[in-house]
Amino acid sequence: MRLSRLCLMVFLCSLSASPLAWATSPPRSENGLALTPPMGFNDWAHYGCHISQRLFVKTAQALLRTGLARLGYRDVNIDDCWMARHRNAYGQLVARRTLFPRGLKWLGHYLHAHGLKFGIYEDAGYKTCQGRPGMYGHIREDVRTFAAWGVDYLKLDYCDPPMNRYPGLDFSQVAHRVYGAVSRALRHSGRAIVFSCSPPAYVYGQPKAYAEVMSWIGSVCNLWRTDDDVYDAWKSILANYQGNVGLWRYAHPGAWNDPDMLEVGNPGLTLCEQRTQFSLWAEMAAPLLISTDVAHLSPQALAILSNRAVIAVDQDPLGVEARRVRREGPIDILSRPLVGGAHAVVFFNRGPAVARATVRLTTLGIRRGPVLLRNLWTGKAAVARDRITVRVASHGVVMFRIRSVGSHPAIRPAPTRADWVHN
């Protein structure tokens, strides 16, 4: 673990210990958008710059054919590399004609005609991460262009910040001014455009700067990247989880911590690890943006992404992100309240072998039983009264939806251990 990451983990632990109560009524987004975490597709983690009009049409068709769109995966988001190296003679952004021969306005219309949404990428600074024209100095005209193209979602990166234009101001102050200007332009664009921001990811590992950015990000953006780019490996999933799990107090309907895209369907993770990422992201109320070849998902990967019970946790309208309430050896125990008084609880095994953990219901924020435990991956159910004991596979999770059942003669109480292993 890098020293900078270790320093920030101390900062995150201090947030987790905050006395802020779950019962506090959360605020809502200022623009009224993204009241549940966005769901859909983003190309970057899987395709990088290897994109085309055909890819997004094919992905849209696959979201519809597989039923993923009906489950909520409706955002189809283009990342970097879509634009020409230079603006046109009128200072406008131009899509690369070789990649998008019909243009992005056509693509937006195509997606809308099929009940999907259109997302696009830009950078708040001078250039994008891949050296394309950035938005700084062109905010109003670029927002007008995006609105004319039918854009529903803007991911705004921060690879080349305009620090030289604001002498005496620090990273957070400059980012606040620039992103604030874009946010205002979006709200006056005449179109409802969800705003995804990136500043926290660029000061990850710098606790003071990170705290400064997080102090204002939710008043400007609907979601924000909290860590490095995710990639198709377990260590990346674990790192982004650890960077995100302590940030629960910043999330609320319309404002979400984003640990980056889903790697479900990519070969670098086992099926167990793919289920784990999906479960943890849902428990943390994170955006669910698939980044894989959706048209060729395996039945197993499609089943993971189609788990309605886990999706319902992610999309719960209460919008409270889970808190890590306990660590027992290699197992993290997360709990979040849901609408109607239920709780979603995840036991996550970070370690290399099967491990066991026990937790009292009161530690989870749940009154003593009887309560009904429903395993969201196996469908099995049992009743507990005071505590739960589970065994969890290496890199796996056991995920429950828990609700009070009172006196329920049709359900036999579970033994002392609810002893399920997620393989």
Q: Are 254 and 225 in contact (CB under 8 A)?
A: no
Q: Average pLDDT for residues 300-329, to the nearest whole number?
A: 98
Residue 28: predicted pLDDT: 64
Q: How far is it, in rounded angstroms, from Cα 211 to Cα 172?
A: 9
Is 415 a residue whose pLDDT tops 80? no
Q: Which residues contact 358 (CB under 8 A, 6 or more apart)?
A: 328, 387, 388, 389
CA 262 to chain centre: 8
Residue 87: predicted pLDDT: 98
Q: Which residues contact 140 (CB under 8 A, 6 or more apart)?
A: 185
Encode burial over 293-328: b for 16+ CB neighbours within 10 A, e otherwise. Answer: bbeebeeebbebbbbeebbbbbbbebbbbbbbbbee
Is 9 a residue whose pLDDT tops 60? no
DSSP secondary structure letters along 315-358: T-TT-PPPEEEEEETTEEEEEEE-GGG-EEEEEEE-SSS-EEEE
CATH 2.40.50.140 fits 323-404, yes or no: no
Lowest mean pLDDT among 30-34, 97-101, 277-281: 30-34
Structure token digits, residue 274:
């793919």
Q: Average pLDDT for residues 365-370, to the nearest whole number?
A: 92
Residue 412: predicted pLDDT: 43
Among the listed residues 75, 157, 227, 258, the single catalytic one is 157
Domains 3-314 and 323-404 share a fold: no
Q: Which residues contact 70 (CB under 8 A, 6 or more apart)?
A: none
Residue 19: predicted pLDDT: 34
Sign of CA dihedral 6, 7, 12, 15: positive
Q: Average pLDDT for residues 144-160, to the nearest whole number?
A: 98
Q: Average pLDDT for residues 60-75, to the nearest whole number?
A: 98
Is 169 a residue whose pLDDT tops 50? yes
Start-end of H helices in 127-233: 139-149, 171-187, 199-202, 207-217
Q: Average pLDDT for residues 406-410, to the nearest whole number?
A: 46
Catalytic status, residue 293: no
Is 411 a residue whose pLDDT tops 50? no
Q: Average pLDDT for residues 278-298, to the nearest whole number?
A: 98
Residue 266: predicted pLDDT: 98
Q: How far is it, in rounded angstroms, from Cα 189 to Cα 191?
A: 5
Is 21 a residue whose pLDDT tops 70? no
Structure token digits, residue 309:
């019970």
Residue 406: predicted pLDDT: 63
Domain boundaries, the chain: 3-314, 323-404
Is 23 a residue whose pLDDT tops 70? no
The residues pairing with 157 across neighbouring beta strands, listed in sequence order, are: 123
Q: How far is it, in rounded angstroms, from Cα 207 to Cα 286?
A: 22
Q: How far is it, in rounded angstroms, from Cα 288 to Cα 286?
A: 6
Residue 27: predicted pLDDT: 60
Residue 208: predicted pLDDT: 97
Give percent of the chain with pLDDT exceeding 90: 88
Q: Average pLDDT for residues 111-120, to the nearest whole number?
A: 98
Mean pLDDT for all residues in the chain: 91
Q: Are 190 and 149 in contact (CB under 8 A)?
A: no
Q: Average pLDDT for residues 362-391, to the nearest whole number?
A: 96
Is 15 a residue whose pLDDT tops 90? no
pLDDT band at 30 (very low <50, low <70, confident <90, very high): confident
Q: 3-314 in CATH: which number? A: 3.20.20.70
Catalytic status, residue 157: yes
Q: Average pLDDT for residues 83-111, to the nearest whole number?
A: 98
